[in-house]
Structure 1
Amino acid sequence: MNFEEYATAWLRDRKLADRTRERSESVTRLHILPTFGAGSVADVTTARVRSWRGKLLAAGVGEPTVVKAYQLLRALMNTAVDDELIRRNPCRIKGADRYDVPERPVLTVAEVFAVADSIAPRYRLLVLLAAFTTLRFGELAALRRRDIDLKGLTVTVRRAQAELQDGRLFDKAPKSAAGVRSVSFPAELLDAVTHHLEHFAAPGRDGHVFVGPQGGQLRRSNFRDDWVKARKAAGITAELHFHDLRHTGNTLASTAGASTRELMTRMGHSSSRAALIYQHMTSDRDRAITDRLGAMIRGGGGVLPGASGETPEQR
């Protein structure tokens, strides 16, 4: 069986989300087929896999991409074992399916507000919610007005925005059932949320909460320059990514007393089916966590959100 023909059919028959399929096809085309495509499935040996992986790393291909390529090749060869094309999976390199993620920077509450106050006003709430609800960029970009409960002080995640390489945007379901969730935000952010909905959100219950200056959907590529400028203006010297706000929020919530299970619930993570069925965080406990976050905001030098940015003393 020719490897390229088998790999093409294998990818075609897999049930994958559009963005995942696009990336998997790209990694296969760029990093797997050039080495293995011309031969047969049975020609893939452990020694060849080890040599292939080493050459990718030596050529400067990023470790996350190399790990993804290895994981794809291993999954494909597992299917080849099931199809009785080979007897044993040759992808048996210890540690090749994972990599150590470098420690990401964590901001203080005051630094979060410094960045939020340095960015364009239409993106201020985006920064604050990323830090204090730990929502991902795609989840924030997909939020609609009806997902914001001002009375209950919650944000409900029902979908996430994804962008294909050709620039097309689409909303997709979260990766797991745990991704659909309601997350409380501190009462200290209510003024900022209300102000944003009044001045910057698209109209109608189904209007996007965050849109660009011309009213179009939020894009990572268009937002990146605003983020970098705000980070530098706030005096943050570390190479801070927007996603690091999620890491910051997780750390702050942990400091506020959240358990591992509660953190996983807020972040939309799941470790096993049993955890999803039997271990749920109560809304009362979620509120207690966000109340502690609110106290940290008041004590951390953050400006209480409002149209004017006035502190309580100035009011």
Structure 2
Amino acid sequence: MATYKDEKRGTWYCKFYYMDWTGTRRQKLKRGFKLQREAKEWERLFLEQFAKNPDITFEALYEKYKEYIKPRIRESTAQSRFYMLDRHVLPFFHARIVSDITPADVAAWQTDILSKGLSNAYIHSANTYLKAIFTYAVDYLGLSKNPCMKTIGSTKSRKLNFWTPEEYAKFSEAAADNPEYFIIFEILYYTGMRVGELLALTLNDIDFKNNQIDINKTFYRLTGQDVINPPKTPNSERIVDIPEFLTEEIKDYTKKLYKPDPEYRLFHKQIQYIRSAFKTRIKRAGVKEIRVHDLRHSHASLLINLGANPVLVAERLGHESPSITMNTYAHLFPKAQLDIVRKIEKAEY
């Protein structure tokens, strides 16, 4: 394995020759590895993948990419990514020879997907995943250049939708007819946790003495199976303080359960049933329609209006950093900006 130390940058790189699918001897150079073993592993993977794959169809490339990416991303993420690619990318390119696909071909695909009436964020993701497939081909299969370099769609998410405390109070009253759904919505609104995190909760995660909930796992349904995994990110594993009234509500709910197993899921619901119950009670309450996930935004709005700073909001929501919180909720912090302006005006020089 031909690996070398870049003394100037303090990193490692690999440099070697290989034979491409046309029989031409070519040189490959890849920089920027922190460790020598990482450079060696990259060279090994390149030669192994390239040796087994001369020029191939897009469909064959896609199958190789799936094998490569599956161990590197969450199972639920892989499922949603492959669904998008299967539906909107593979049918367009499937029989094309990868080295024959040009930027013009990619532009034709982009025009096609832009005509389907999909959201900007969805289109942006599909384009990003297509680019990743070609990047894999460049890195490991000897493709000379990535033909997917132009971005389409937008990373800007839809306008945030949330309830005021008054709107939630109306909804909560309408949701009181069903004890299980009532407590589900109460927890979501007063903690800001994700629905998957709520559905993974057990009695052992509730500290009734200290009014706290330990969020340490997430639940989702994958190919008909219930799956419990660690939270979305390392910072998503957190302990949140809850108001005493919510502790009492959870306690009252658990008293109605028949011999609950403290290590078993507290709520045996699927997300589609929660969404359906949510919509029904929104209509009953006569409040504006939002998504279940928007209860998380409603909690953030509640915290900000109560004077919480971005660091505290980030900790409760399980964001990786306060910058994510500010990027998402910056427009909800007008009071903080006004306070700073007033301090500037009063400052003495």
Same fold (TM over 0.5): yes
Aligned to 1:226: 277
Structure 1 contact 159–173 (Cα < 8 Å) conserved: yes
Q: Identity across aligned pairs (percent)? A: 25
1:99 is the counterpart of 2:155: yes
Structure 2 contact 218–232 (Cα < 8 Å) conserved: no
Q: 1 CA distance for matches of 2:231 and 2:316? A: 14
- Return the match for 1:208 from 242, 265, 268: 265
Aligned to 1:151: 209
Match of 1:223, as an amino acid?
I
1:51 is the counterpart of 2:102: no
Match of 2:290, as an amino acid?
L
Match of 1:8, as an amino acid?
E
In the TM superposition, residue 108 of structure 1 has moved relative to its aligned partner by 1.6
The aligned runs of 1:204-283 (5 Å cut-off) are 204-210=261-267, 217-236=268-287, 238-271=288-321
In the TM superposition, residue 85 of structure 1 has moved relative to its aligned partner by 2.5
Aligned to 1:184: 241
Match of 1:227, as an amino acid?
F
Q: 1:201 to 1:28 in 2, by over 3 A?
A: farther
Q: 2 CA distance for matches of 1:184 and 1:137? A: 18
- SS in structure 2 at match of 1:257: coil
The superposition leaves residues 97-119 of structure 1 with CA deviations (integer Å, 9 ceiling, x where unpaired) of: 63332213221213223222212
Q: 1:123 to 1:57 in 2, by over 3 A?
A: same
In the TM superposition, residue 73 of structure 1 has moved relative to its aligned partner by 0.8
In the TM superposition, residue 123 of structure 1 has moved relative to its aligned partner by 1.4
The superposition leaves residues 161-204 of structure 1 with CA deviations (integer Å, 9 ceiling, x where unpaired) of: 1112x432211111211111111112232221211221248702
Aligned to 1:289: none
The superposition leaves residues 99-146 of structure 1 with CA deviations (integer Å, 9 ceiling, x where unpaired) of: 332213221213223222212221112111111110111111110000
TM-score of the aligned structures, taking structure 2 as reference length: 0.70
Higher relative contact order (CA 8 A, sep 6+): 1
Structure 1 contact 174–180 (Cα < 8 Å) conserved: yes
Q: 2 CA distance for matches of 1:10 and 1:112? A: 45
Q: 2 CA distance for matches of 1:219 and 1:132? A: 21
Match of 2:123, as an amino acid?
V
In the TM superposition, residue 20 of structure 1 has moved relative to its aligned partner by 1.9
Match of 1:106, as an amino acid?
F
Q: 1 CA distance for matches of 2:74 and 2:164? A: 36
TM-score of the aligned structures, taking structure 1 as reference length: 0.77
Q: 1:104 to 1:201 in 2, by over 3 A?
A: farther
Higher mean C-alpha displacement, 132-141 vs 103-112: 103-112
Q: 1 CA distance for matches of 2:296 and 2:318? A: 12
Higher mean C-alpha displacement, 38-47 vs 148-157: 38-47
Structure 1 contact 201–209 (Cα < 8 Å) conserved: no
Q: 1 CA distance for matches of 2:59 and 2:144? A: 19
Would you tell me which structure has more strand in proportion to its own residues?
A: 2
Q: 1 CA distance for matches of 2:300 and 2:100? A: 46
The two structures, once aligned, show a CA RMSD in angstroms of 2.1
1:13 is the counterpart of 2:63: no
Q: 2 CA distance for matches of 1:221 and 1:189? A: 24
The superposition leaves residues 206-226 of structure 1 with CA deviations (integer Å, 9 ceiling, x where unpaired) of: 13222xxxxxx2101222221
The superposition leaves residues 48-71 of structure 1 with CA deviations (integer Å, 9 ceiling, x where unpaired) of: 222212211212344443222212
- SS in structure 2 at match of 1:135: coil
- Moved runs in structure 1, 4+ residues, more than 6 A? none
Q: 1 CA distance for matches of 2:292 and 2:206? A: 21
Structure 1: which 5+ residue stretches go unaligned? 211-216, 276-315
The aligned runs of 1:47-86 (5 Å cut-off) are 47-83=104-140, 85-86=142-143
Number of aligned pairs? 264
Higher mean C-alpha displacement, 18-27 vs 135-144: 18-27
1:25 is the counterpart of 2:82: yes
- SS in structure 2 at match of 1:139: helix
Match of 1:44, as an amino acid?
I
Q: 1 CA distance for matches of 2:299 and 2:184? A: 13
| Higher-Rg member (1/2) | 2
